[in-house]
Amino acid sequence: MAEGYYNIYRSTVYWRYAKARPHLLFFDARLIFFIALFGFHIRWWTFALLVVAIAGFTGASYFSYTLENVVRLLRSRIVGPFRPAVAYTRLRPMVEYGADSFQELTDKKNPKQAL
């Protein structure tokens, strides 16, 4: 079915080209955000950020990494090798809500009298 459809150059469009990385000239198209930042706010630090972004995207494409893989790699480097089975927020809190200890905390006059 896709062989009947053509792009603007009248060549056949195949499904395998759907996941190709977008390019502007020979740079990755996602650099347009850094180029726009440098274009609207011309400073040395935005130029340095643009150069670092160009180097990063060029290095990632040289090693055949996608942006998602690079983000996943950086996240795994930050977190480290420890992968808990259950998140810390899902664990039960280590707080005792017992009546005796609450009574001892609230009775400030004589804590031994509460026992």
- What residue segments make up the domains of the chain, in order of their start? 23-88
Residue 25 has pLDDT above 60, yes or no: yes
Report the alpha-carbon distance of residue 23 to residue 6 in Å, rounded: 20
Q: What average pLDDT does the chain have?
A: 78
To the question of pTM greater than 0.75 for the whole model, the response is no
pLDDT of residue 115 exceeding 90, the answer is no
Buried-state track 42-76, b at ≥16 Cβ within 10 A, e below 16: eeeebeeebeebeeebeebbeeeeeeeeeeeeeee
Radius of gyration of the chain (CA): 29
Evaluate if residue 55 carries a pLDDT over 90. Answer: yes
